[in-house]
Structure 1
Amino acid sequence: MRISRVLKSGVRNSGVLVAAGLLLGAAVAPAVADSSPSASPSGDSAAPTSAGTSFRTATEIAQGQRATAGGSAGDYLYWSFPADTGLRPTVKATVKFPQSAERGASQTWQLDVYDGLRRRQACQYGAQTRTAAQDATSVDLSCTLRTVRAWSEPWADDPLPGTYYVRLTLVDVATGDLGLPVSAEVQVDSKDIGGSAAVDGSLSQPLVPGIATASDTSDEGSDSAKASLFSLEPDDGWASGWWTDRWVWTAIGGILAALAGIGGYALTKGSGRPRQVPPGA
């Protein structure tokens, strides 16, 4: 009888553990899903139709926008975009050659990405440099960066939250082809990696050019206010990645461990009644 009671108690507690885990998972799933940033830009923002010629004149684009620009072979084309903690940006570019442009040889195009400190960032994967044949009508390039970290050692070259620059240019072209018309399309999308990329610590300010010299604008009419060199930022503000699903699953693990301890105690504590001694023993 005692064994059967213990087994029944264990079954009941196991059922409670499973039910609690399912309820917690169902309650947390919407919160985790809502934490993913939207890659779509606002509907009232028009996609840019030009590109800058240097870091300081780079055209700002929001993630999800398809920016276009016209130029000439040999030009340096620059765009800039914001990237926050926990995101893994992917930059895609397409260079199109008009039918009227007769190239005398193949052309090699390259896509480079720099962070707010103008450090060139390595691509995890993607065709960063490609050669267009003489008769090609377009060439596609892409670069997927490493996940943006909230904090890094000063000597490291890890991607950090802030402004990122895209540079599209020719690296190998015949002299006779310089100046031929080209058109370019650039788009940046990001994947939210989540708590697996979370680290302890964070930057006091994102790596946005000019943010260190921008004064407090709370005092209206202040003549000392200076504009930042980059105006775009994530929809929910910088350092929006401080909340990750790592906190959620850590809490779930602690609750399940506590319930497992309660269930183990119920299985091993026994009935609690003194053992009866047969008469005459």
Structure 2
Amino acid sequence: MRTVRMLATALLAGAALLGQAAPAALADTPSASASPSEQAGPTEAGTTFRTAARFLPGQQATAQAATGDYLYWVFPADTGERPTVRATVTLPDTALRHGAATWRVDVYDGLRRRQPCTYGMQSRAAAKDAATVELACALRPVRASADAWSQDPLPGSYYVRLTVTNGPDEDLGQPFSARIGVDVADEGGAYATDGALAAPLVPGATTADQAEADTEAGRTPAVEAGAPEDGWSSGWWSDRWIWTLVGGILAALAGIGGYVLTRGAGRPSRVPPAV
């Protein structure tokens, strides 16, 4: 019985450790992600992929343009992160508009592959009397690596494109303003993989020799210029290691407990000697 009590205590301790690890892996849900702060971001947007204005998650990027223009921004996303792009478009004055218009936000990865939105209003029609329109696009979690044929999001640069897709031709050219922000939820080891890219998908980042040449010439390599504030992750560590370790300990304790119980059940009872 003493052995069983010790085993139960060990199992409870392991379960408590697992319970402490669980919130870290499950707490980073979309509702737990913080809204973008009011940190200063770029006040202009690019008009092509090559001229996209760079901003970081937590910053607010703004721009003023004419209806019908294509606006481009770019931000970094690393392994285990799940970005959610949010856009607010302040429409032209109601008296100047001739009808409803549909606005759309799209997100592309470093290979310029359009990434699907898992949820959020990616495209929305604004009535003629609407003052603003809100758009959102939540991407899938970024993976450390993926098969060549896969469309899974990978670490690197992500482009945001905002434009009007349908509306009266008379409204083209009218001024509007836009605000872009990105929420990032850390998914941890839930979507971790065993591999890692040799380099993040950052346009302009070619080879290590080119990066070294840029450094020697005093130019910031593209892979560094497009990196998050704390740099790119190595891709090998995730909280999945904690789950694996705790699971191994619990399995070992369960095996010992089963052996002890089985041995106790199979042992013959002692008969007191006859007097």
Q: Alignment partner of 1:166: what SS?
A: strand
The 1:224/1:109 distance shift into structure 2, 3 A limit, reads same
Does residue 278 (structure 1) correspond to residue 261 (structure 2)? The answer is no
The CA distance in 1 between the partners of 2:41 and 2:143, in whole Å, is: 28
The 1:76/1:216 distance shift into structure 2, 3 A limit, reads closer
Equivalent residues of 1:113, 1:164 under 8 A apart: yes
**Paired amino acid for 1:97:** L
The equivalent residue for 2:157 is 163
The equivalent residue for 1:107 is 101
Q: Deviations over 1:18-56 (max 9, x none)?
A: 134325654x579869999x979999x732111111101
Shift of 1:209: 0.6
Q: What is the TM-score with the length of structure 1 in the denominator?
A: 0.83
Shift of 1:177: 0.9
Does residue 53 (structure 1) correspond to residue 36 (structure 2)? The answer is no
Q: What is the TM-score with the length of structure 2 in the denominator?
A: 0.84
The equivalent residue for 1:80 is 74
The equivalent residue for 1:146 is 140
Q: Which has the higher helix share?
A: 2
Equivalent residues of 1:147, 1:197 under 8 A apart: yes
The equivalent residue for 1:254 is 248
The CA distance in 1 between the partners of 2:28 and 2:237, in whole Å, is: 8
The equivalent residue for 2:198 is 204
The CA distance in 1 between the partners of 2:272 and 2:223, in whole Å, is: 88
Q: Alignment partner of 2:111: what SS?
A: coil
Structure 1 residue ranges without an equivalent (≥5):
1-6
The CA distance in 2 between the partners of 1:67 and 1:263, in whole Å, is: 58
Does residue 70 (structure 1) correspond to residue 41 (structure 2)? The answer is no
The 1:250/1:133 distance shift into structure 2, 3 A limit, reads same
The CA distance in 2 between the partners of 1:221 and 1:133, in whole Å, is: 51
Equivalent residues of 1:121, 1:145 under 8 A apart: yes
Work out which of the residue numbers 120, 124, 142 in structure 2 matches 1:130. Answer: 124
Q: Deviations over 1:178-211 (max 9, x none)?
A: 1101000111112112222122211111100111
The CA distance in 1 between the partners of 2:36 and 2:160, in whole Å, is: 18
The CA distance in 1 between the partners of 2:215 and 2:88, in whole Å, is: 45
Please, which moves more after superposition, 271-280 or 117-126? 271-280
Shift of 1:176: 1.3
The equivalent residue for 1:11 is 5
Does residue 194 (structure 1) correspond to residue 203 (structure 2)? The answer is no
Task: Tell me how large the CA RMSD over aligned residues is.
Answer: 3.4
**Paired amino acid for 2:273:** P
Equivalent residues of 2:102, 2:126 under 8 A apart: yes
Shift of 1:241: 4.5
